[in-house]
Amino acid sequence: MLGPVVIDPPSGRPPLLVIDRVAIQPRFWRLFLGRVEPGVVTLRGVHIHAGGQGDCLADLARALRPDTLRTTRPASPRPTSAPPDVTFSGLEVRFEGPAPEQAPLVWGPFGGCLRVDRQPEHTHASLVVDGPGRALHASRFQPSQALLVISGDLNEASTMKLINSAFGDWKDTGDKLAPLPEAPRTSTHEFLLLPRPGSVQSTLRVGRPAVPATHADYIPLQLANVILGGSFDSRITKNIREDKGYTYSPVPGPQACSTEGATRSVPMCEPK
């Protein structure tokens, strides 16, 4: 049992990678041949610091795959063996918020395994994650929550026969989703300035809560958006694009889910 294992960044940031515990189980049959080879490597408590926009992941990749060997003694030639099985638990990826006072975004914890396929020309590694993702998939992809839309010149009897042959045995396999609470329709005013030195454009994002997709006003809201700024013939687009020449498009539009919605506009212009 080893740990903790820490990989520090090149600058004074938090550690790129922290593994609380590493357990290594050797291939016992190799011990009879006088060789020690890892058979199963178990990682417990894997914490990855990805930075604000994932910029630290590149530093982590360079640290895990150095360009030069970390030894000056030439390695003795050995027969090629299969890579060990790597399993992990408690995997968390942390993204820092855009402002210091904002809480970081944490993905996880997850469990799974790392599969390595070693070929003569290259080595391919794939990450297989299980745990909450499988349960979430089973609870969301259910026939009671599916909608099948078919259009065209179709024969109803033959079409229904094809549908039943393809989806007739589809059964619910997960727990039902709990009802979501209704999201707030109003919010307090907030102004956030994020400096981007050297940027060739300034981005202005304006938004507020709106109605969900199930609301009676959602379709009228979409129509109002087309008239106001959601098309090239809209009023705002003609004003700030054709008349003023400020930006290519204000890019407005409503976004709606089952219990919440929002309206936003994201114009981009010269940094003046």
Determine the distance from the C-alpha atom of residue 130 to the mean position of all C-alpha atoms in its chain, rounded to a whole number.
15
Residue 178 lies in a domain: no
What does 240-259 look like in DSSP terms, one character per residue? IIIIS---S---EEEEE-SS
Asked whether residue 152 is assigned to any structural domain, the reply reads no
Domain edge (last residue) among 89, 120, 135: 135
Structure confidence at residue 69 (pLDDT) = 39
Answer with the one of 135, 153, 176 that is the final residue of a domain: 135
240 within a domain of the structure (yes/no) = yes
Q: How many CB atoms lie within 10 A of CB 56?
A: 23
Across residues 231-237, what is the average pLDDT? Answer: 84
Task: From 135, 166, 181, give the residue that closes a domain.
Answer: 135
In this structure, what token pair is assigned to residue 8?
Answer: 């520090």
Collapsing DSSP to helix, strand or coil, 160 comes out as helix
Whether residue 125 sits in one domain with residue 11: yes
251 assigned to some structural domain? yes
Does the residue 159 lie in any domain? no
Q: What pLDDT shows up at residue 157?
A: 92
Least confident of 21-25, 31-35, 117-121, 181-185: 117-121
* Digit-coded pLDDT (tens) for 100-157: 666 778 877 778 887 777 666 666 667 777 666 666 777 778 888 888 889 899 999 9
In a domain, 127, yes or no: yes
What's the number of domains the chain is made of? 2
Q: Are residues 111 and 221 in the same domain?
A: no
Q: Are residues 128 and 217 in the same domain?
A: no
Do 111 and 11 lie in a common domain?
Answer: yes
Q: Give the domain range for residue 251.
A: 202-269
